[in-house]
Structure 1
Amino acid sequence: MKHVIMIRTMTIMKTADILKAMDITEQLANEVGFLPRDCLFLRLATEEACMNAYEYCQKTRRLPFKIFWKMDTARFTIIVKQRGGCFSAVKTDGVNTGPRGRGLQLIAHIVDNVYVKRAGNNVLLCMCKCKENE
């Protein structure tokens, strides 16, 4: 059985909070031993996930939303929890030339596992990045 540790939780109310969440992601990823390149990519995944949630929650008057960071010995997980409808985050190799939707594809290519699940009135976007064996 893996020992899971909840590292941090944050409530996002405004865009400045998203910048802080990006900093926290990069700092935590660095602390648990990810390479600088992976830390930067995890920061980018956090930005994309939070901006998507922020835009949706602002438009539907459902602010704030939350972000959680968890880790165990093998993986780093970022979870964005918002109120609202479910959406899809399926990894594809096709090129999206539409006006929206590239952020979720970017996230899917950055992390090792991304999935969306419903939890009551909330939707959770879960992004997991595994540490490489050294």
Structure 2
Amino acid sequence: MKIQDGKRYLLVKDEDDILRAMDITTEVAQEIGFPDNGVLFLKLVTEEACTNAYEYCSHSGQAGFLIKWDPHIRESLTIFIKHKGKKYKITKENKVNFGQRGRGLQLITSLMDYVEVNEMGGYIETVMQKDVSPPL
């Protein structure tokens, strides 16, 4: 893991790195004040997004992908995942998915406040943001 400009970066090359990414998400979320259930949801989103990217990279012969955390103290956490590829569509639907694939993206869009996929020069970057909810 690298830290630059207050952001943490990790190159994910194997399944152990996905577990490390989940641990980093937990650490960052706790540092900026997410409640325990929010930390758990962010960890789940990290696992799902990393698993999707890992499977895609493995099938397309890529060595790995980059994940970055951008914490906004007491405000929100933004997680970026970047790898070579083409843009895909993310929709926020409120229906049951009986298909073989796509449940993970539905989970991510349901748990996060903001999800976007950007294409930049042969790379795609998935951006996921969650705001810290004030305690009830």
Q: TM-score, normalised by structure 2?
A: 0.91
Identity percentage over the alignment? 41
Deviation at residue 133 of structure 1 after TM alignment: 3.8
Determine the structure 2 residue equivalent to 1:93: 94
Structure 1 unaligned runs (5+)? none
SS at match of 1:67: strand
Paired letter, 1:67: I
Determine the structure 1 residue equivalent to 2:131: 130
Matches within 5 A, 1:47-62: 47-62=47-62
Deviation at residue 95 of structure 1 after TM alignment: 1.1
Structure 2 unaligned runs (5+)? none
Q: TM-score, normalised by structure 1?
A: 0.92
Matches within 5 A, 1:1-134: 6-73=6-73, 74-133=75-134
2: CA distance between counterparts of 1:128 and 1:14? 24
Q: Does structure 2 retain, via aligned residues, the 8 Å contact 1:54–1:63?
A: no
2: CA distance between counterparts of 1:116 and 1:107? 12
Deviation at residue 132 of structure 1 after TM alignment: 2.2
2: CA distance between counterparts of 1:42 and 1:96? 21
Cα-Cα RMSD: 1.2
Q: Does structure 2 retain, via aligned residues, the 8 Å contact 1:68–1:78?
A: yes
Cα deviation, 1:59-90, whole Å, max 9, x if unaligned, reads 01012100000022421100010111111121
1: CA distance between counterparts of 2:101 and 2:6? 32
2: CA distance between counterparts of 1:90 and 1:6? 31
- What is the number of residues matched between the two proteins? 130
